[in-house]
Amino acid sequence: MMRELRGILEHGHADSALQTSYLATRQLSKDLIAGLGEADLTVQSMPDASPAKWHLAHTTWFFETFLLRDTVPGYDLFDDRWPYLFNSYYEAEGERIARPERGLITRPSVAEMMAYREHVDRSVLNAWPLLVDRHRDLLELGIQHEQQHQELLLMDIKHLFSRNPLGPAYAERTKGEPAPSSSPLRWIEGATGAAQFGHQSSGFAFDNEMPCHTAWLSPHALANRPVTNEEWIAFLSDGGYRTPSLWLSDGWDWIRREGISAPLYWRMHEGTWEHFTLSGWHPVDPAAPVCHISFYEADAFSAWAGARLPTEHEWEAAAVREDCKGGVQLDGPGATAPIAEQPQGEFASLFGNVWEWTGSAYRPHPGFRPAPGAVGEYNGKFMSGQFVLKGGCCATPRGHVRASYRNFFHPHQRWQFSGVRLARSL
């Protein structure tokens, strides 16, 4: 199928770079599930997660719904029952299956779902000039949307496999060679005064990165690297999860209610901390960034360390001076994981290792306006009760992140690849 689509490209359609990106993104999704069986692709391990099969179908539904359905004359839906199954949260697109019940979608089969992907890919490529002319922005959004779901797919597979007593590996670890040790922690003084934030270039950005706006930076410093596993073990050993004065009230209630005593996927085995990874259970690497921690945990650790979380603006002001091509970002199938990195500029691992919690609430930038129509529901309606994370992670597709990029999760969530970089006021 992919060879056939590449043949379509060779006949001179415009915007070959965008087409190449489309094909590469669609192929990577297929590559990521190549070693998984039907059951692996169908089971849902918790309400926040989704089956891998659903991710592959939902990203296809996005292209069919927002591009093909209303733009291509005579286009018929592949199956008019499937929008109910694969719509995520778009109220304007009608009723849908409840998120916690996505694991009940044993039918259509994986083979039928893959046929759906091929049908939509063929239709998109055949209608490419028309789609580019009318909806180039939606094509780009669809590609970026699928890249987001590639990361979600790996997050969800990792959680699913962690619940299996056999501790199965998704794949052998192949991404990056760890540094022998973490770099010494140093404080780097940040910019002060008025500065510009938000998306400022001509490239792609999500609506929540805009508009560009001015904000004030007070004197501050950021750590040159994320907090490491070794430092987190010191926090554990010092009773960090048993000291209420370190915790926000909601966070303390959460760890007591849920029995939280370590990062997600950690366990003590024969006197040694080990954690579950996409390549199975392994000893915790002391030098690697701590991963899979909630906002509550990040905030408590910051208090224990005599520091605080950076604001979104402080983090972004540091990141605009750095090359966002670092880290171990996702660029093919395999068991990716955070690794210890030495600084390539002033900072280590600002991009593409672990998402870094900030202390900033996920709210709209001044002057934000959601897009018209159903795609206006993409980000804006979630700007309540969540916190901003920055920088991307080891499961973020390479080239997907930038300084203005804003991820967001609820303060208790931690199945994402999330860590922390300390800040302090000066």
DSSP states of 225-273 as a string? SPPBHHHHHHHHHTTGGG-GGGS-HHHHHHHHHHT--SSTTEEEETTEE
pLDDT at position 4: 46
Q: Roughly what angle, to the nearest 10 degrees, separates helices 52-63 and 16-32?
A: 160
Q: What pLDDT was estimated at residue 5? A: 47
> Domains of the chain, with CATH numbers?
2-162 (1.20.120), 187-425 (3.90.1580.10)
Low-confidence ranges of the chain (pLDDT < 50): 1-13
Contact 173, 335 (CB under 8 A): yes
Look at residue 42 and give its three-state secondary structure: helix
DSSP 62: H
Q: Of the candidates 51, 29, 147, 159, which has an alpha carbon nearest to the alpha carbon of residue 106?
A: 51
Q: What is the pLDDT of residue 153?
A: 97
Q: What is the tens place of the pLDDT at every residue in 293-342?
A: 999 999 999 999 999 999 999 999 999 877 666 567 777 777 788 988 87
Predicted TM-score (pTM) of the model is: 0.94
Q: Scanning the structure block, which residue is given the tokens 């998306």?
A: 199
* End-to-end Cα separation, the chain, in angstroms: 58
pLDDT digits (tens, 9 = 90+) for 93-147: 999 999 999 999 999 999 999 999 999 999 999 999 999 999 999 999 999 999 9
Quote the Cα angle for 143-146-147, to 5°: 90
Whole-number Å distance between alpha carbons of 42 and 44? 7
The pLDDT value recorded for residue 174 is: 61
pLDDT number for residue 27: 96
Contacts of 232 (CB under 8 A, 6+ apart): 263, 290, 293, 301
CA–CA separation, 139 vs 137, rounded Å?
A: 5
